[in-house]
Structure 1
Amino acid sequence: MTMPATDTGTQDRRSLHERIAADLRDEIMSGDLAAGASLPSTTQLKERFGASNATIQKALQILKDEQLVVGRAGAAVTVREHRQRTIRPASYMTPARPGEPYRWLTETAKLGTRAHSTLLDVRETTAPADVAAALRIADDETVLLRHQVLSLDEEPVELVKSYYPMAIARGTALTEKRKIRGGTPALLAELGHPPRTSVDRVSARVPTQEQYQVLRLPSDLPVLRTLRTVYSDEERPVEATVMVKAGHLYELQYEFTAE
């Protein structure tokens, strides 16, 4: 099937089965093909896309590898339940009360999933250029990195790298290779740097080798990369975190109130 050119005359150079998978993926993620619904039959898909049976099966295999659909050859293929998750960043901003778990753990538990964080590394390093700019420090200035992976139901879902100015981190529990009860927002508040404002910059990117491997991605589908800068009193940046999620499994929801 020949896809039409865009207004700029650019042709879609992807193979046909990749284009078919892309169209079906969009319908799944937008809800046109709801969780539990059956995909059109192979015959219907062949007619719709002008493709052979083998091409349709290759497209469906892509969606199966991405865990968006389930099924086997000769049987109906259905959209998997509860694969796409909606993230509400504002719900994780408020520090946990004393003695309570990190808010990411409590918020995800409300969805009926088992949440777990694994601390991979804690060390002094230099920050990526955009992180250094967010923290308002020189490119060669040392910062503290806390590197972890977040999992839901034993599946790695987010790679997290949090950076802190050494003037804030030095001599505190931030530098220790252990989990922090209540999470870093609670500790920052305890240290006299209460989070006041959080600014997110979200972009879609092709995954790096590390992201591909740690998140067990099925292909080079874009990931959602969020650079979150947390400001304390007097708009002082106290934390910059890079969070990476599989783009085909998540959407971000931001809520605003008109003044």
Structure 2
Amino acid sequence: MTVSTIDNDPSDPRSLHERIAADLRDEIMSGDLAPGAKLPSTAQLKARFDASNATIQKALQVLKDERLVIGRAGAAVTVREHRQRTMHPAAFMAPAGAGEPYRWLTEAAKHGTQAHSTLLDVAEVRPPADVSAALNLAESETALLRHQVLSIDREPVELVKSYYPMAIVQGTVITDKRKIKGGTPTLLAELGHPPRLSVDRVSARVPTQEQYQALNLPSDLPVLRTLRVVYSDEQRPIEVTVMVKAGHLYELQYEFTPE
């Protein structure tokens, strides 16, 4: 763990307690402060950061609000168990087997957590510009939106908006406002559009009002936004999904094989 003080740096306009919280947050997410570990004492943090007791308490409150640590006044502050989750996007792409639930749910269960998806809306809409471009839609064309929020252990973790070309899904159960057994990859495969390739574009953004509320975020910390384009045979785009996660609680892991 790096031990250093935070100087008054004009290039960093954040208040001192925000900068202290940022350093501790990084140590939590990198594993230097592991789940269940005690944070240094207030006295140690005061010496390390050359800060007052009030400033240290404000920094710790930020981390408590972000659900990264737990503790009460006069008691040791500890890192919450299982706070940072590593997501493996490639594990969710293959269609589920016959009678199996959506792969996101089964993957979460492997880690000892209870996952749940809540379908918020199903509607024909004009998608955002980047989604329309990815689906090769004309400016006036619509797509089907399936909007849901995913939760782990009753905590909202991901806001998901999936878009489908109307030419593919019109008249199918994908347009119904109900969950699809096995998820849409299974149904698309049954309709003759098996997923062959997925391309992700990941960016960090300040949360929108909708994202802030849906994910119960504690502040305007960046969210991880993934724009995923799924292609079927002949490189036809069949699904574009925008997935948003709390950036301070999740990381994405991709695996590559050298060519």
AA at the equivalent of 2:94: T
Q: Which residue number in structure 2 is paired with residue 190 of structure 1? A: 190
Question: Contact 1:3 / 1:12 at 8 angstroms: preserved in 2?
Answer: no
AA at the equivalent of 2:45: L
Q: Which residue number in structure 1 is paired with residue 19 of structure 2? A: 19
- CA distance in 2 between partners of 1:27 and 1:126 (Å): 42
Q: Which residue number in structure 1 is paired with residue 130 of structure 2? A: 130
Note the C-alpha offset of 1:2.
Answer: 5.4
Q: Which residue number in structure 1 is paired with residue 156 of structure 2? A: 156
AA at the equivalent of 2:83: R
Runs of 5+ unmatched residues, structure 2: none
Q: How high is the TM-score relative to the length of structure 2?
A: 0.96
Aligned CA-pair RMSD: 1.1
AA at the equivalent of 1:87: M
- In the TM superposition, 1:85-164 aligns within 5 A as 85-164=85-164
- CA distance in 2 between partners of 1:133 and 1:113 (Å): 36
Q: Which residue number in structure 2 is paired with residue 236 of structure 1? A: 236
Runs of 5+ unmatched residues, structure 1: none
Aligned with 1:19: secondary structure?
helix
The alpha-carbon distance between structure 1 residues 250 and 42, as it changes in their structure 2 partners (threshold 3 A), is same
Q: Which residue number in structure 1 is paired with residue 249 of structure 2? A: 249
- The alignment covers a number of residue pairs equal to 255
Q: Which residue number in structure 1 is paired with residue 50 of structure 2? A: 50
- CA distance in 1 between partners of 2:131 and 2:226 (Å): 11
Once the two structures are superposed, residues 9-57 of structure 1 have per-residue CA deviations (whole angstroms, 9 ceiling, x without a partner) of x610011100100000000000111111111110111111111000000
Note the C-alpha offset of 1:140.
Answer: 2.4
- In the TM superposition, 1:212-231 aligns within 5 A as 212-231=212-231
Once the two structures are superposed, residues 125-174 of structure 1 have per-residue CA deviations (whole angstroms, 9 ceiling, x without a partner) of 00101111111112321110000000111111100000001101101111
- CA distance in 1 between partners of 2:197 and 2:245 (Å): 22
4+ long deviations beyond 3 Å:
1-5
AA at the equivalent of 2:125: T
AA at the equivalent of 1:157: V
- CA distance in 1 between partners of 2:246 and 2:136 (Å): 29
Once the two structures are superposed, residues 201-243 of structure 1 have per-residue CA deviations (whole angstroms, 9 ceiling, x without a partner) of 0000010000010110011111000000000001100000000
Once the two structures are superposed, residues 106-135 of structure 1 have per-residue CA deviations (whole angstroms, 9 ceiling, x without a partner) of 111101111110100000000101111111
Aligned with 2:213: secondary structure?
helix
1:177 aligns with 2:181: no
- CA distance in 1 between partners of 2:183 and 2:177 (Å): 13
Q: Which residue number in structure 1 is paired with residue 79 of structure 2? A: 79
Aligned with 2:218: secondary structure?
coil
Q: Which residue number in structure 2 is paired with residue 3 of structure 1? A: 7
Aligned with 2:61: secondary structure?
helix
Q: How high is the TM-score relative to the length of structure 1?
A: 0.96
- CA distance in 1 between partners of 2:231 and 2:8 (Å): 47
